[in-house]
Amino acid sequence: MRAVVCREWGPVDQLVVEERPPAPLEPFDVRVAVSACGVNYVEGLMVQGLYQVKIPAPFTPGMELVGHIVEVGGGVTDRHVGQRVFANVGIGGYVSEAVVRADRCLALPESLTDGQAATFMQSYLTGWFALTRRVQTSPGQRMLVLGAGGGVGLAAVDIGVALGLDVYAAASTDDKRALAAERGASALIDSSTEDVKARARELGDGGVDLVYDPVGGELGERCLRALGDEGTYLVIGFVAGIPQLPANQILLRNRRVVGVEWGGWAGRHPRENDALVAEVLALIGDGRLHPVEPTTYPLEEAGRALADLAERRVAGKVALIP
């Protein structure tokens, strides 16, 4: 089997692919021939040693993978050879073959391609957690999504529309805004040329109800002011840096700031997360949610995939194909 390896923290272009012997199979494990590996922004931070959780090198990055089971352990009764499954392995997902505990594998709706299946989990579970658990929304509310052409923002657009929200999508390129429009955004804002705050306030008759922010930085700070009375700013991530949110702008008009960190919550609340996953999969199966088909790279180009993602050179999601 082949694995992408970070031998030491540093630039993503230093990742290498190594040949490794197959891992042993324990009684409650399955062996999966991997067909697609999800690529996420945070994995680039891990490789560089910049993530808040430091992964000791050497290690194989990657959290999400999809493939077909080729072998089952003697204690496995609910999985079978040939079954297509998704697994969130936490770390070690950029591989051509994986050994995973059977109870960590999910059967997938046939409507999902391998690429979609390998890349929907982090983005869609973050969005569903944010908009159904961290806050309660009502149909007709107005939501501004920053970074709406990236994987996390695009999922928020899709989920917002499914929940009946009026979604305004801010993104920097035509192709990114086109993806948001395909998922039902009612208005598109060019974040490279327009004043996003002013345009959102105009669209929202003086202010929006929700700001969904995976971008942060100066744009996030400005867009706090796009909120109307009792509006909520959802802190999702900081790809442009941690915003300096002015406390006076939170106090004014009774605005709220809500942190969203699905991964840590899921680890502490596995049963509640199982329900969250089931809800999202049901909505995908019913055709109410529409994960994007990712841009794909061969396993050997993991470094380029992470660099393109970090530099926002791709719209939507990214996957590696072993």
CATH of the domain at 89: 3.90.180.10
Domain shared by 66 and 49, yes or no: yes
Residue 51's SS3 state is: coil
Same-domain check for residues 149 and 169: yes
Residues 71 and 127 both lie in one domain: no
Q: Yes or no: say if 83 and 106 are a contact pair by the CB < 8 Å rule.
A: no
Q: pLDDT of 156-184, one tens digit each? A: 999 999 999 999 999 999 999 999 999 99
Instruction: Please tell me the total count of domains within the chain.
Output: 2
pLDDT band for position 109 (cuts 50, 70, 90): confident
pLDDT of residue 53: 85
User: How far is it, in rounded angstroms, from Cα 104 to Cα 273?
Assistant: 12
Provide the sign of the torsion angle of the four alpha carbons 319, 268, 216, 227, taken in this order: positive
Contact 168, 143 (CB under 8 A): yes
272 assigned to some structural domain: no
Q: What is the reported pLDDT for 196?
A: 98
Name the pLDDT band for 263 (thresholds 50, 70, 90): confident
C-alpha to C-alpha distance for 40 and 318, rounded to whole angstroms: 7
Domain span at residue 127 reads 123-263
Contacts of 205 (CB under 8 A, 6+ apart): none
Average pLDDT over the chain, rounded to an integer:
96
Query: Rounded distance, CA 76 to CA 67, Å?
Result: 17
Task: Tell me: do 255 and 297 sit in the same domain.
Answer: no
31 and 144 belong to one structural domain:
no
Shared domain for 142 and 257, answered yes or no, is yes
Mark which of 248, 263, 278 sits at the end of a domain: 263
Single out the residue in 246, 263, 280 at which a domain terminates: 263
CB 314 within 8 A of CB 31: no
Backbone angles phi, psi at 91, to 5 degrees: -155, 150
190 and 75 inside one domain: no
Whether 279 maps to a domain, the answer reads: no
User: Does the pLDDT at position 129 exceed 90?
Assistant: yes
- Rounded Cα distance, 53 and 32, in Å: 27
77 shares a domain with 8: yes
- Cβ count near 222 (within 10 Å): 16
**In a domain? residue 52:** yes
Question: Per-residue DSSP letters for 63-104?
Answer: -EEEEEEEEE-TT--S--TT-EEEEE-SS--SBSEEEEEGGG
Q: Would residue 285 count as lying in a domain?
A: no
**pLDDT computed for residue 8 by the predictor:** 97
pTM score: 0.91
Predicted confidence (pLDDT) at residue 265 exceeds the cutoff of 90: yes
Is 23 within the bounds of a domain? Answer: yes
Give the distance, in angstroms, between the CA of residue 86 and the centroid of all CA atoms in the same chain: 15
Percentage, residues of the chain above pLDDT 90 = 92
CA–CA distance, 142 with 4 (Å, rounded to integer): 42
Q: Is the dihedral of CA 122, 319, 69, 97 positive or negative?
A: negative
- Report if residue 278 sits inside a domain: no
CA distance 234 to 224: 10
- CATH number at 201 reads 3.40.50.720
In this structure, the answer to whether residues 136 and 257 fall within a common structural domain is: yes
The answer to whether 197 and 219 have CB atoms below 8 angstroms apart is: no
pLDDT in tens, 62-87: 999 999 999 999 999 999 999 999 99
* Spatial CA neighbour of 17 closest among 64, 76, 60, 66: 60
Residue linked to tokens 């699905």: 262
Task: Please check the confidence at residue 125 and state whether its pLDDT lies above 90.
Answer: yes
Predicted confidence (pLDDT) at residue 9 exceeds the cutoff of 90: yes
Q: 110: buried, middle or exposed (CB in 10 Å: 19+, 13-18, 0-12)?
A: exposed
